[in-house]
A and B are shown apart, each in its own frame.
Chain A
Amino acid sequence: MKKVITLLFVAVLILTLSACKGKDADFSDGKITIWAWDPNFNISIMNTAKGIYGDDVEIIIVDMAKGDLETKLHASLSTDGDLPDIVLIEDYMAGKYLSSYPGKFADLSDSIDHSKFIPAKVAIGTFDGAQYSVPFDSGVSGMFIRNDLVTDADVAAASIAGVTTFAQFVEAEITWDEFIAVGQAYTARTGDAFMANNFADGGLFRTILNSTQSWYTNADGDFEFNGNPGVEEASRIYKEIYDAEVMFNGTSTEIYKAATDWATWVDPLGNGDVATVTTGVWISGTVKSTTANSGDWTVMKTPRADITGAVNYSNLGGSSWYVLADGDVDESVAFLKAIYEENQDNFYDTILINNGAIGSLISAASSTAYTANDPFFTNTAIWNDFALWSALIPAIDYGFYTYEADEALMNAMPAFLDGTSSLSTFLNEAEVAAKSKVE
């Protein structure tokens, strides 16, 4: 019996030792490890960067799902576990990581010239006066609209001042109420939805909120929903869209298609089930993936909330690169600086053409790739438009708790949408729930 146990322990020991010979996660090893998500966008873009930078340094790009990466990053940061040298962090999350893990991210204030990037983007990666980010893609928003489906008559029905044709419409700066009016005309005529929305997702809500120059929090960084004009207006617009039913063939029809996840939100873009989508520029890759729709899509400015201070420019998502302090900081900064700050080999042109990515480097926007017309989008210079708009996005301090606020608002939203809660009851309830999450 003893023999068996001894054998067993020896077996385990051998296993353990043999495992130890595996790859060592040592840091200053002349390699740069990068964590990012989405193979068709961020990963593909980093591969382009890797190709440009050459073979002097080995660059290892690890592909993960976004939610998985965030979980893993939290786990590793809080345990001194395996970390990469460079990591991609979504803008809404930046404050949370920077404030929760002091000293874990490298201060790049002196090594990267942040004045070359869009200020609103730099502000997101700034914590306690130090700049930590290498600003990456912009989430500048626009309204993508099908020019083959929406007609002059739909537009005219909305009676927008000075707008009678589709051509005038796409040049106009409209409000969300005008958007809804066009949508009603469109749905009443075709029976199809004008847009898709997941009412449990805060994406569109944040797009509207960002354009009102406000956020979920007040000047002290505390949640303030009730009495916050931006939040109230975004809630009102959600309900207007939810309630905007029209008669089609004798049945009352909604102007939106209810989505329950990413797939049910994205699929209608390819098959004509919806005529518009209002979101970040990063959707352009998905829109273009249905090549049969080439020439059918146009892009116009984001609709505006109907309150003072609101503009037709907004942002949804976007992310930036961060360097881990315990990693190979010098090598990583040199790499990021060459590609993202110095635009080596016209990097930004390549990723614009290949991935539909709008960077945050101000000077990149004046290159030929940006000013060229895109045949997919009716031969208009949409990239130039997006680049111009991205500089006009209201600068917002997202604070630390964007997703906590999102969750609280969206959980209380159904009662408001179906009319059981008044606006103030709904916002109060959500505010209490949100505050309890961050106490």
Chain B
Amino acid sequence: MRNLLQGFKNIIKRILQAIKRRMKKIGIGWAFIIPALFFITLFVIIPIFYSMFLVTQSCRGIVCESNFTGNIDKLMGDVQFRQVFKNTFIFFIVQVPIMLTLALIFAVILNNPKLRFRGVFRTAIFLPAVTSLVAYSVLFKMMLAPEGIMNTAISFIGISPIGWLTDPFWQRVTIIIALLWRWTGYNMIFYLSGLQNIDKEMFEAAEMDGANKRQTFFKITIPQLKPIILFTAVMSTIGTLQLFDEPFNIIRGSGTTASTMTLSQYIYNLSFVYIPNFGYAAVISYVIMIIAALLTIIQFRIMREEK
């Protein structure tokens, strides 16, 4: 590991020197990028290279042996992996479209300058996004407990109590509700900021041409927001594939984990709960990376800007 790091250090040094020498040739654009590249190399790229090395290892704590094919064989026959993969995909497919649609609707409504109390509503809807994870999981656990406020509320309309935290089906519903609650306002912020960057004159021109609200929305708002919509779609995809916080904090300890454990939670368990096997954990993480990359490429293709 030390040698590896030393090697990278030298490589960075050489790259920096080369850049300095050829700054004029390469162009000013790189000067904007280099500071970020420096930190990302140090704190992201190097760790990723190390984790790539880990993929070939099978570990028990600090006792590791080289066994890449063993890891792949294990992955192929891993029942639990199949289960957590399925769970993660259910969350992804159900939650992301609902959340992004809602966020866009909120943003467009709240962008209307004629709407009163805009600031109040905006703050209210964004509020869940600022809660710390610990806070939010304590809250959800208390509200969704067997005799919690949620079951009391639904009993008024004649529905019998639901095992929000314990029933395998409803656990998933709980996670999706929690995700929507926390992240819809968060995504709304991106759309709101994107809406501000649209030239006001475009809307004015459309209004003068007699376009109604729906037409304006589909002809101006959506195309102009496209880059931001792509951004939120990609980030939500990655975020959901790496989903960890909600199932880890809300369900774990409350109910059985079989129907809500996600890929990231499995990685965490492989590293910090079961006998630590950092090698196999790294293998799973690259499965996530490959899937996320494929989905991102598809999204970029769909949203590609017409030149």
Contact = CB atoms under 8 A, between A and B. Distances in A.
Interface stretch (B205-213, B266-274, B283-291): B266-274
A23 interface: no
A410 B168 CA distance: 12
Interface residues of A, number: 43
Contact of A74 (B78, B166, B276): B276
A433 B79 contact: yes
Interface string B59-84: 01111000000000010001110000
Contact of A77 (B38, B62, B165): B62
B272 A75 contact: yes
Contacts of B79: 432-433, 436
Given A8-B35, A78-B278, A260 B254 contact: yes
B274 A437 contact: yes
Contact of A260 (B141, B168, B257): B141
A74 B275 contact: no
Interface stretch (A94-102, A310-318, A357-365): A94-102
Nearest to B270: A437
A21 interface: no
A411 interface: yes
A264 B278 CA distance: 35
B31 A5 contact: yes
Nearest to B77: A436
B5 interface: no
Contacts of A71: 272
B145 A438 contact: no
Contacts of A200: 166, 253-256
Contacts of B141: 260-261, 263
Interface residues of B, number: 35
Given A5-B31, A258-B146, A438 B276 contact: no
A261 B166 CA distance: 11
B34 interface: yes
B258 interface: yes
B159 interface: no
A411 B171 CA distance: 13
A285 B102 CA distance: 48
Contacts of A438: 274-275
Interface stretch (A122-130, A230-238, A401-409): A401-409
Contact of B166 (A9, A78, A260): A260
B63 A407 contact: no
Interface string A1-19: 1100100110000000000
A326 interface: no
B44 interface: no
Given A200-B166, A433-B80, A1 B28 contact: yes
Contact of B62 (A2, A101, A260): A101
Contacts of A75: 272
A413 B256 contact: yes
A74 B271 contact: yes
A437 B273 CA distance: 11
A23 to B, nearest CB: 22
Interface in B215-266: 253-258
Nearest to B70: A439
B46 to A, nearest CB: 14
B273 A403 contact: yes
Given A102-B62, A198-B254, A260-B146, 9 more contacts: A8-B35, A200-B253, A201-B253, A401-B274, A411-B258, A414-B166, A436-B78, A436-B79, A437-B274
25 contacts: A5-B31, A9-B35, A71-B272, A74-B276, A77-B61, A78-B62, A99-B275, A100-B60, A100-B61, A100-B63, A100-B275, A101-B61, A101-B62, A102-B61, A198-B254, A262-B253, A401-B274, A401-B275, A410-B256, A411-B256, A411-B257, A413-B256, A414-B166, A414-B168, A436-B80
